[in-house]
Amino acid sequence: METEIRLEGVCKYYGKKQALKDVTMTIPSGMFGLLGRNGAGKTTLMKILATLHRADVGKVSVCGVDVKNSAEIRSMTGYLPQDFSMYGNMGVYEAMDYLGTLSGLSKGERKKRIPELLEKVNLSHNYRTKVKAMSGGMRRRLGIAQAILNNPKVLIVDEPTAGLDPEERVRFRNLLCEIAEERIVILSTHIVGDVEATCENIAVLDEGSLKFAGTVEELLNMAEGRIYTAEVSRMELEKIKKDYIVTGMLTKGSMVDVRFVSEEKPFEGAKNCEPNVEDAYLYLMNEKGGETVCL
Amino acid sequence: MLISLIKKECSMWMKSIVFYAYVIILIVFYVSQLEGGELIRKPEPGGDDYGYIYSDDENIIMNGTLKDLVCDFESERDFATYPVGFYKSVTLSEGEREQLASCISRLCKMSREEWEQALVEYSAGYSVEYDELGRETVEEKVPWPIVVPSDMTYEEFEAIMEEVSDIIGPGNNYEKENLKEHAEVKMTYEQALLEYDNILYKDKVSGAYARLFCDYIGIILGLLPVFFGTARVLKDKRSQVKEVVYAKKAGTAAIVCSRYLGIVIMIFLPVLLLSFLPMSKAVFVAKTAGVKVDYLAFVKYAAGWLLPTVLFVTAFSYAITELTEGFLAILAGMVVWFTALFSSVTLQWAGWNLIPRFNSLGEYNLFLYLRPQLVANRIFYTVLALMLLGLTLTVYALKRKGVLKNGKVSENLGS
């Protein structure tokens, strides 16, 4: 039994606009990050995998099953959409019970599984809490619980941490990592930190094209030796901003610690440093231009 | 899965304001229109009004039809027709009016001048007076003068009426099957007694009350389910749960049918419960008369008469709202309802109208006469409802695959 997702030459059009351009990649088991700017085609790709959209061109298979076989795909996938919500006047347990029925679980299975999952997402004390009374973080946790109701082989999670406070975000990322054992979890986000903290494999989309596919380490290797830091004055900072891609800065009185990308040592005083995923991502998106890097 | 989903749909409606508003309207409508209505009583000899009945006497049919035709011809240029069950006014050209006048002349064997002159004389001696209770008293100094001669056979009459019908157009009141409706006569005591016996022994009392119940309740069931279909689809949109549901394992048929049947159950159940009120009245009348009541009459009439209305109106609003994801179905439903309500030919009529009428307590024989058209009507709307449900299934399946979005081929969706 295959435990990977394969995309071959996938194209998707919305009228004249091409949302995905000849995307070919393999998504292995474990946490997989899908990075890209807003409008890069991440949600479209996720929806194709969740059978909510159809690819106009190309082949997509999930664990060996063609996505055209939507009934089978739906029984092996869990999906958490970008703006997850439920009927406002439903309680947490009731919402899970309804979605569990839609997932094909019997009454006995629902009775056993729902408390387990609510415990897992830390909502075991909120059985009767109405969805409309839940915070954004609680709703996302309910969303993840409903997505794994059917114990799916593949979990598709679209922008799950957007709008969450830092504490909720960390908790949510940890939860995803726990769930990712023995299944494929695809995490779509434009927040690089989420991917850095959770994913071993990633893909980067840019305007519908696949810009990078490989491991986090391979992405970091691309930026190796090209990230510099320097302490500069505010006047000098403006020049650096014009000449280089600035990936970070920290103001210290009249001076600024700046972190930027450069192919070679830019000036005296600049120190080469270890790249992080954000540096590598920005390097990829800006320096690599239209080049596709699939490792 | 389907049964489980239907139960969940019903429980969702139990928390919905739409459902409670419906129940309140239903009860208020029943109380205002039907509660405290007449009880069926045995006719007493020597009474002056036992109601009306359609006569089978050919002479009465011929003369009644001719009288109505002359009155229609003289009183207005427009003729009411119901070509597909809905009202259509037909204005005849001068040539067609000439042809119609010629038919009248052949029916009464008088020239146009003669019968028009006779009509003028009759009208001069005709008066209507109303007493303080609004009851009318008609005084005719001259008897109605335009009659079918005794030597005319019924076949000859039918042949001329066929010409009349062709001139006016389809769905008119002078078609062969409608001729009897021009022969309304006052019931005699014996006929009234027979009618009473029919109610007791053929209708088993409850049948008569069930028909009146269906007549009234059918009016509001022609509209109110529209709000349920629309509310259910828009609930998914407003709560942003569409994609979550789309991505689940449940088949499109299970999702759509459970929602549809959930609505139908939640609309129909209060109707059945409400029917206990007129049923109790029927039981009282039956016990007083010492006859056995048919306890299932209301269920049978409601299922055969009202359920097709519920099925159709729900499917209509569900299909339109699934396609448009807006409030268009409510507007369209109101148009259909108004059209249906105000296009009934009489208060005892089905035709192809969404809201069949039978605004009488009793009149078992008249009901038997109208029953075939009522049955055809109800089958028609049930089939139409199933077709609309099929359309809804198709639309939902296409939306689920991302092919359709709000009825349009998807384009420029978010990335």
Nearest to B240 among A14, A83, A102 (CB): A83
| Distance, CA of A57 to CA of A63 (rounded, Å) | 20
Note whether B243 contacts A79, CB cutoff 8 Å.
Answer: yes
Tell me the two tokens of residue A195.
């991917």
Least CA distance to A46: which residue of chain B?
A: B415
pLDDT tens for chain A, 295 residues long, are 678 999 999 999 988 889 999 999 999 988 999 998 888 899 999 999 999 999 999 999 999 999 999 999 999 999 999 888 899 999 999 999 999 999 999 999 999 999 999 988 888 899 999 999 998 888 888 998 999 898 899 999 988 877 777 887 888 888 888 888 778 999 998 888 888 888 889 999 988 999 999 998 898 888 888 888 988 888 888 888 888 888 888 888 888 888 888 888 888 888 888 888 888 888 888 865 445 554 4
Quote the minimal CA–CA distance from A43 to chain B in Å.
Answer: 5
Q: Are strands B52-54 and A5-14 parallel, antiparallel or unpaired?
A: unpaired
- Residue B26: CB partners within 8 Å, gap ≥ 6? B217, B220, B224, B270, B271, B274
The pair of three-digit structure tokens given for residue A72, joined into one six-digit string: 């089978």
Question: Measuring CA to CA, which residue among B60, B145, B70 is closest to residue B103?
Answer: B70
Q: What is the pLDDT of residue A39?
A: 85
Query: How far is it, in rounded angstroms, from Cα A28 to Cα A5?
Result: 7
- The pLDDT of residue B82 is above 80: no
Q: To which residue do tokens 């610690």 refer? A: A257
**Could you report the per-residue pLDDT of B352-395, keeping only the tens digit for each?**
889 988 887 877 878 888 888 899 999 999 999 999 999 999 99
Over range B193-202, report the average pLDDT.
86
Check: CB of residue A24 under 8 Å from CB of residue A7. Answer: yes
Is A81 part of the contact surface with chain B (CB cutoff 8 Å)? yes
Radius of gyration from C-alpha coordinates of chain A: 21
Looking at A236-245, B10-19, B109-118, B267-276, which range is the least confident one? A236-245
Site of tokens 């954004």: A136
Rounded to 5 degrees, what are φ and ψ at B77?
-85, -25
pLDDT above 70 coverage of chain B, percent: 93
Beta bridge partners of A248: A259
Residue B1, chain A, CB below 8 Å: the answer is yes
Contacts of B80 (CB under 8 A, 6+ apart): B87, B88, B89, B90, B172, B173, B345
Long-range contacts of B160-167 (CB under 8 A, 24+ apart): B160/B103, B160/B106, B160/B107, B161/B65, B161/B103, B163/B99, B163/B103, B164/B69, B164/B100, B164/B103, B167/B92, B167/B96, B167/B99, B167/B100, B167/B103
Tell me: pLDDT of B245 over 70. Answer: yes
Alpha carbon B3 to its chain's center:
33
DSSP state of B201: I
Is there a contact between A74 and B413 if contact means CB atoms under 8 Å apart? no
Which of A5, A21, A4, A18 is CA-nearest to residue A210? A21
Which residues on A lie below 8 Å from B410 (Cβ)? Answer: 14, 53
Please report, for chain A, the start and end positions of each structural domain, with discontinuous segments joined by +.
Answer: 5-220, 225-274
Q: What was the ipTM of the complex prediction?
A: 0.85
Of the candidates A39, A81, A107, the beta carbon closest to that of B415 is on A39
CATH number for the region A5-220 comes to 3.40.50.300
Cα of A75 to nearest chain B Cα, Å: 5
Q: What is the pLDDT of residue B140?
A: 76
What pLDDT is stored for residue A79 in this prediction?
94
Residue type, B363: E
The encoded tokens of residue B393 equal 């299934």
Q: Would you call A52 and B401 a contact, using CB atoms and an 8 Å cutoff?
A: yes
Amino acid at A81: P
What confidence tens digit (pLDDT) does each residue in A153-180 have?
Answer: 999 998 887 777 788 788 888 888 888 8
